[in-house]
Amino acid sequence: MDFDWMKIPYALLTLFIVVNYGMLQNALIAKIGARVGRRRGIPIWQNYADLIKNYSIRSSITHGVMYYLGPVFRLSGGVGLLLFVPSLYGSEMFSNLSFAGDLILALYFIFFGTLGMALGAAESGHPYAAIGITRGLQQVSAAELPMALAVFSVALQYQTLSVTEIVAAQQGGFQNWTLFTNPLAVAAAMLSFLGSMMRPPFDVVLAPQEIPIGPPTEYHSSYLALMQTNRAIFPIAKIVIYMNLFFGGATIWPEFFLKVFLIYMVSVLVGVVHPRFRVEQSIRWFLVWAVPIGILSIVLV
């Protein structure tokens, strides 16, 4: 089958739109958190200023090769996840590079960036790096398990691994969304979503009040800028997966922006009202609450 090269410019346009939407949304979320704490928060344009500044700086510090490949792997995971999943259903321009088995590929991309950052941090030489790696991989493994179970349930329900076909099966009204046809799978996936977004109470990896180090302080210059770019892309890309699998997808950009914003707000609202879990509390929470729901969703399907 011949590859349609015209998809590449449109995929890059999708990437441009998502980067800017992610930057603005991150600033808005920071303002929401600040308002809850009775602070003013950062200006909306602050993320752009920080990104431009960091991309303009060069580093004179030498570390191992894998240390510098960590942010590259992290960004590759976010970009790959976004580009291999359709952004708008029914649009030739914004179907991106999706194909028949793209759901399995999406699961790999979700874990790819985290694993790359773990390998990069391991070569930093920092004595606390092992703590962050251990916490990160433990929580990611626990959080991804209910998501995998939910995905298997949805694949069994629709008898396909194509995200486009899953979205197509949900057209015709909101009552056809997976949210209503398989609510247990959606519940397991949304509980997993809270952990995958790395917001309170699941921000156990960096633990800013406990360990005053981590990627924001160990990485610098353009390497930090790569991580900031991924911070705008990766959450949106993950939410696009959730939107397509469970909430009917989107057919136009205003619908895309609205659904992504509302799904994102689930983790934001939980984060501003709950304190951080300890590592063992976080893992136990997923195994006790999310995993059984995911197993039950497969059994019922």
Instruction: Compare 299 and 206 and report the one with higher pLDDT.
Output: 299
Residue 70 has a pLDDT of 81
- What separation in angstroms does the CA of 276 have from each of 191, 198, 207, 211? 16, 10, 8, 13
Confidence class for position 1, pLDDT limits 50, 70, 90: very low
Place of tokens 């209503």: 180
pLDDT tens digit string along 107-152? 888 888 777 777 777 777 777 777 777 777 888 888 889 999 999 9
- The answer to whether 15 and 81 are in contact (CB under 8 A) is no
Is residue 104 a contact partner of residue 80, using CB atoms and an 8 Å limit?
Answer: no
Average pLDDT, the chain: 85
Q: Mean of the pLDDT values across residues 237-242?
A: 93
Q: What are the boundaries of each domain within the chain? A: 7-300
Longest dimension (CA), the chain: 57
The Cα 111–Cα 58 span in angstroms is 29
Report, as an integer, the average pLDDT of 276-281.
84
Instruction: Tell me the C-alpha distance between 122 and 208, whole Å.
Output: 19
CA dihedral 178, 180, 185, 189 (to 10 degrees): 80
Token pair 């773990």 is found at 118
Q: Say yes or no to pLDDT of 239 above 90.
A: yes
Share above pLDDT 90 across residues of the chain, in percent, rounded to a whole number? 35
pLDDT tens for each residue of 23-69: 999 999 888 888 888 888 888 889 999 899 988 888 776 677 888 88
**Predicted confidence band of residue 2 (pLDDT cuts 50, 70, 90):** low
pLDDT tens, 69-101? 888 888 888 898 888 888 999 888 888 777 656
21-26, Cβ contacts within 8 angstroms, sequence gap of 24 or more: 21/232, 21/236, 21/257, 21/260, 22/231, 22/232, 22/233, 22/235, 22/236, 23/47, 23/48, 23/51, 23/232, 25/236, 25/260, 25/261, 25/264, 26/231, 26/232
Of 297, 138, 111, nearest to 130 by C-alpha is 138
Q: What is the mean pLDDT of residues 206-219?
A: 60
Residue 72's pLDDT is what? 85
The pLDDT tens digits for 170-187 are: 998 899 999 999 999 999
How high is the pLDDT of residue 197? 87
> What local confidence, expressed as pLDDT, does residue 85 receive?
87
pLDDT at 211 over 70: no
Q: In the predicted model, what is the mean pLDDT of residues 204-227?
A: 68
| Per-residue DSSP letter, 179 | H
Helix, strand, coil in percent for the chain, rounding step 5: 70, 0, 30
